[in-house]
Structure 1
């Protein structure tokens, strides 16, 4: 497994993520944003972070543009979590997508959010050839989520 991680800068942590999370907690989705809540793999405490929820061919996915970050490790351990939009909470289970199956998901994700996250994909974009998307697939965990109930 790749150990690729791109840590967010000060502006992202202290301004952008906080603004998106604040809006999302108040029920305003910014291009599909949700607040992801997942239990910490060591502490058992709920951890939250803003994420972009991708719907593709009737399925829903969470993509980690910054790589193998804390929420991805926690998701693997917990097997699911909750997506929050305002007061609405959707519990879900998560299944990690194999690298060989990520190409269409990464392409759709980049098509939707390249302006926001494109810098984290090593120059690969939504119009890149499949082999380039397959090359970066190990660096970007993808989880298919299934809502409970």
Structure 2
């Protein structure tokens, strides 16, 4: 059964995402922004998308606010990828976080980026209970990432 994915609006696609990606490609992180590169599960070609890198208790995470999208499917298949910030390229492995373990990460993500992504969380926010966060956890893949090595 596939979930309905909320598409970002025109401003987000054509202005905000492009501006953040442009800055990130030049080495300027905007609120933890990176460009995620992950191999396509069918083509094997590198696919890129802007993401927000979140750090919680010293662990690093990628959260999919828009749900089960292409990069999350590719990440599951590849088991990792690359994070790019300007010319810095970091290879990493990724482990998907179980739904029951997501509330703390989702809460931290929403606390930091709710203004940007809150619409995708159906009214659940940083102040929501663990139960409310668990109820939506299945809609938002979360990956814990571990650096393998800097590539450049």
Q: Which of the five TM-score ranges fits, normalised by the shorter chain?
A: over 0.9
Deviation sequence 1:63-90 (CA, Å, 0-9, x none):
0000001100000011000000010011
CA contact 1:4–1:68 (8 Å) conserved in 2: no
What is the distance in 2 between the residues matched to 1:7 and 1:41? 22
1:119 aligns with 2:91: no
Displacement after TM superposition at 1:3 (Å): 2.5
Matches within 5 A, 1:31-70: 31-70=31-70
What is the distance in 2 between the residues matched to 1:112 and 1:29? 14
Size of the aligned set, in residue pairs, is 149
Task: Report the counterpart of residue 72 of structure 1 in structure 2.
Answer: 72
Task: Report the counterpart of residue 104 of structure 1 in structure 2.
Answer: 104
1:18 aligns with 2:18: yes
Secondary structure of 2:115's partner?
Answer: helix
What is the distance in 2 between the residues matched to 1:133 and 1:140? 10
What is the distance in 1 between the residues matched to 2:2 and 2:133? 15
Displacement after TM superposition at 1:2 (Å): 6.1
Secondary structure of 2:132's partner?
Answer: helix
Task: Report the counterpart of residue 136 of structure 1 in structure 2.
Answer: 136
What is the distance in 1 between the residues matched to 2:118 and 2:7? 14
CA contact 1:92–1:145 (8 Å) conserved in 2: yes
Aligned-pair Cα RMSD in Å: 1.2
Secondary structure of 1:139's partner?
Answer: coil
CA contact 1:2–1:138 (8 Å) conserved in 2: no
**Structure 2 vs 1, CA of residues 65 and 3 (structure 1 numbering), >3 Å: closer, same or farther?**
same
Task: Report the counterpart of residue 95 of structure 1 in structure 2.
Answer: 95
Secondary structure of 1:3's partner?
Answer: coil
What is the distance in 2 between the residues matched to 1:22 and 1:112? 21
Structure 1 residue runs of 5 or longer lacking an equivalent are: none
Give the TM-score of the pair, scaled to structure 2. Answer: 0.94
